[in-house]
Amino acid sequence: MKYTALLRGINVGGKNKVEMKRLKDIFASLDCSNVSTYINSGNVFFESDQIRDRLHEKIMGSLSNEYGFQIPLLIKTHQEIRRIADAIPLNWKNDSEQKTDVAFLFREIDFEETADSLPIKKEFIDLKYVEGAIIWNVKRELLNKSQLTKIIGHPLYQSMTVRNVNTARFLADNM
């Protein structure tokens, strides 16, 4: 089975430093094959015949032992990543005019109602729920009015990991 692991909260602002080469070695030591990483934000491609829940438990334990802190982790199949990426409207981009992100959701908040609970001004942002993720697009000129940055301080933010649209599409196209 082809998987992508999405690590949350590493290498942000100089905190929770995780070297990608070491991360790759950890996954390989857990009998994962064809392991590779993408950018420094904690995206790991790998293959494994192990059951996802057991694999998740083993990876979490190894990361905690190696780094001395908990690293929240999502493991998605290739099909799940592909389905999420396919739900992003083609005209949603990251450029000088618009900002598009994908918030991959942990199980405990993976509900359509989660999007309604976010502290944003929905009249200034396009928001779309697809199982496993919330996708948003906002015109850069409306970014402040949308109050999108308030998500960071919201309790739900701890149960999601955000990637920009370019990364989300790359994950789907390169597994």
Tell me the pLDDT tens digit for each residue of 28-50: 999 999 999 999 878 999 999 99
Q: What is the pLDDT of residue 9?
A: 82
Q: What is the pLDDT of residue 20?
A: 87
How does pLDDT run across 146-175, given as a tens digit for each residue?
A: 999 999 999 999 999 999 999 999 999 987
DSSP string covering 59-71: HHHHHHHHHSS--
pTM comes to 0.94
Residue 11 has pLDDT above 80, yes or no: no
Q: To 5 degrees, how large is the angle CA 152–CA 154–CA 10?
A: 40
State the Cα–Cα distance between residues 120 and 131, nearest whole angstrom: 20
Q: Is residue 77 classed as helix, strand or coil in its secondary structure?
A: strand
Class of residue 41 by CB neighbours under 10 A (exposed 0-12, middle 13-18, buried 19+): buried
With cut-offs at 50, 70 and 90, classify the pLDDT of residue 16.
confident
User: What is the strand order of the sheet 43-47 is part of?
Assistant: 33-38, 43-47, 2-7, 73-77
Residue 28, token pair as written in the block: 């390989």
Q: What is the pLDDT of residue 174?
A: 86
How does pLDDT run across 55-110, given as a tens digit for each residue?
A: 999 999 999 999 988 999 999 999 999 999 999 999 999 999 999 999 999 999 99
